[in-house]
Chains A and B, each alone.
Chain A
Amino acid sequence: MATQALDRMAPLARLRGARKAYGKVQALDGIDLEIHAGELLAVLGPNGAGKTTAIGLLLGLVGADAGEATLFGQLPQQLAARRGIGVMLQSAGIPDTLQVGELLELTRSYYAAPRSVADCVAMAGLGGLLKRRYGKLSGGQQRRVQFAMAICGRPKLLFLDEPTTGLDIEARQTLWRAIRELLAQGCGVLLTTHYLEEAEALADRVIVVNGGRVIAQGSVQQIRAHVSQRRIRCVSTLEAETIGRWPQVRSAARHDDRIEIVADSAEVVVRRLLSEDPALEELEVERAGLADAFVALTRNAHDEIVNQKEAA
Chain B
Amino acid sequence: MNAIAVEPFSSSLRCYWLEARCEFLRVLRAPAFAVPTLVFPPMFYLLFGVLLNGGHGGKATSYLLATYGVFGVMAPGLFGFGVAMALDRERGFLALKRAMPTPPAAMLLAKMAMAMIFAAMISVILASLALTLGHVTLAPLQLVQLFAVNVLGVLPFCAIGLYIGTVASGQAAPAVINLLYLPMAFLAGLWMPLSMLPALFAKLAPVWPAYHLAQVALSVVGLDDGGSVAVHVLVLAAISALFFGLARRRLARA
Q: Which of B25-33, B42-50, B116-124, B219-227 contacts A (4 or more CB under 8 A)?
A: B25-33
- Give Cα A110–Cα B104 distance, bound, in whole angstroms: 11
**Contact indicator B29/A79 (Cβ below 8 Å):** no
Which residue from chain B places its CB closest to the CB of A114 in the assembled complex? Answer: B11
Q: How far is the CB of B36 from chain A (nearest CB, A)?
A: 16
**Contact indicator A80/B93 (Cβ below 8 Å):** no
Q: How far is the CB of A101 from chain B (nearest CB, A)?
A: 11
Q: How far is the CB of A107 from chain B (nearest CB, A)?
A: 7
A60 touching B99 in the complex, CB below 8 Å, given contacts A83-B4, A112-B11: yes
**Contact indicator A79/B19 (Cβ below 8 Å):** no
Tell me, yes or no, whether A280 is within 8 Å of chain B by CB: no
The residues of A that contact B101 with a CB separation of less than 8 Å are 79, 82-83, 85, 110-111, 153
- Give Cα A111–Cα B88 distance, bound, in whole angstroms: 22
Q: Which of A17-25, A89-97, A251-259 contacts B (4 or more CB under 8 A)?
A: A89-97
**Contact indicator B99/A95 (Cβ below 8 Å):** no
A93 touching B104 in the complex, CB below 8 Å, given contacts A102-B25, A112-B4: no
- Give Cα A28–Cα B225 distance, bound, in whole angstroms: 60
The residues of A that contact B100 with a CB separation of less than 8 Å are 82, 86-87, 107, 110, 149
- Give Cα A83–Cα B7 distance, bound, in whole angstroms: 12
**Contact indicator A93/B4 (Cβ below 8 Å):** no
Tell me, yes or no, whether A106 is within 8 Å of chain B by CB: yes
Tell me, yes or no, whether B182 is within 8 Å of chain A by CB: no
- Give Cα A93–Cα B97 distance, bound, in whole angstroms: 10
In the complex, chain A residues 64-116 whose Cβ is within 8 Å of any chain B Cβ: 79-80, 82-83, 85-87, 89-95, 97-98, 102-103, 105-107, 109-113
Tell me, yes or no, whether B199 is within 8 Å of chain A by CB: no
- Give Cα A80–Cα B98 distance, bound, in whole angstroms: 13
In the complex, chain B residues 1-34 whose Cβ is within 8 Å of any chain A Cβ: 1, 3-4, 7, 11, 14-15, 18-19, 21-22, 25-26, 29-30
Q: How far is the CB of A6 from chain B (nearest CB, A)?
A: 14
Tell me, yes or no, whether A296 is within 8 Å of chain B by CB: no
Tell me, yes or no, whether A147 is within 8 Å of chain B by CB: no
Tell me, yes or no, whether A122 is within 8 Å of chain B by CB: no
A97 touching B30 in the complex, CB below 8 Å, given contacts A89-B96, A153-B101: yes
Q: How far is the CB of A151 from chain B (nearest CB, A)?
A: 12
Which residue from chain B places its CB closest to the CB of A153 in the assembled complex? Answer: B101
**Contact indicator A113/B96 (Cβ below 8 Å):** no
The answer, among A95, A106, A112, for a CB contact under 8 Å with B19, is A106
The residues of A that contact B98 with a CB separation of less than 8 Å are 59-61
The answer, among A87, A98, A109, for a CB contact under 8 Å with B11, is A109
In the complex, chain A residues 164-202 whose Cβ is within 8 Å of any chain B Cβ: none
- Give Cα A60–Cα B92 distance, bound, in whole angstroms: 14
Tell me, yes or no, whether B250 is within 8 Å of chain A by CB: no
The answer, among A87, A98, A113, for a CB contact under 8 Å with B22, is A98
**Contact indicator A95/B26 (Cβ below 8 Å):** yes
Which residue from chain A places its CB closest to the CB of B15 in the assembled complex? Answer: A109
The residues of B that contact A93 with a CB separation of less than 8 Å are 87-88, 90-94, 96
A110 touching B96 in the complex, CB below 8 Å, given contacts A97-B25, A102-B25: no
The answer, among A87, A97, A106, for a CB contact under 8 Å with B99, is A87
**Contact indicator B96/A95 (Cβ below 8 Å):** no
Q: How far is the CB of B102 from chain A (nearest CB, A)?
A: 6
The residues of B that contact A109 with a CB separation of less than 8 Å are 11, 14-15, 18-19
The residues of B that contact A153 with a CB separation of less than 8 Å are 101
Q: How far is the CB of A143 from chain B (nearest CB, A)?
A: 13
Q: How far is the CB of B32 from chain A (nearest CB, A)?
A: 11
**Contact indicator A79/B22 (Cβ below 8 Å):** no
The residues of B that contact A89 with a CB separation of less than 8 Å are 92, 95-96, 99
**Contact indicator B93/A61 (Cβ below 8 Å):** no
Tell me, yes or no, whether B103 is within 8 Å of chain A by CB: yes
**Contact indicator A61/B18 (Cβ below 8 Å):** no
A61 touching B95 in the complex, CB below 8 Å, given contacts A97-B26, A112-B3, A112-B11: yes
**Contact indicator A59/B99 (Cβ below 8 Å):** yes
- Give Cα A23–Cα B175 distance, bound, in whole angstroms: 30
Q: How far is the CB of A8 from chain B (nearest CB, A)?
A: 15
Tell me, yes or no, whether A294 is within 8 Å of chain B by CB: no
The residues of B that contact A110 with a CB separation of less than 8 Å are 15, 100-103
Interface flags for B46-84 (1: CB within 8 Å of A; 0: not) read 000000000000000000000000000000000000000
- Give Cα A141–Cα B21 distance, bound, in whole angstroms: 24
Given contacts A59-B98, A98-B26, could you give 6 more A-B pairs where the C-beta distance is less than 8 Å? A89-B96, A93-B88, A97-B26, A107-B100, A109-B14, A159-B99
Give the interface of A toward B (CB within 8 A): 59-61, 79-80, 82-83, 85-87, 89-95, 97-98, 102-103, 105-107, 109-113, 133, 149, 153, 159
14 A-B pairs within 8 Å (CB atoms) are namely A61-B95, A61-B98, A79-B103, A87-B96, A89-B96, A89-B99, A91-B92, A93-B91, A93-B92, A102-B22, A111-B101, A112-B3, A112-B4, A159-B99
Give the interface of B toward A (CB within 8 A): 1, 3-4, 7, 11, 14-15, 18-19, 21-22, 25-26, 29-30, 87-88, 90-96, 98-104
Closest 9 CB pairs of A and B: A93-B91, A93-B93, A109-B15, A97-B29, A91-B92, A59-B99, A82-B101, A93-B92, A83-B101
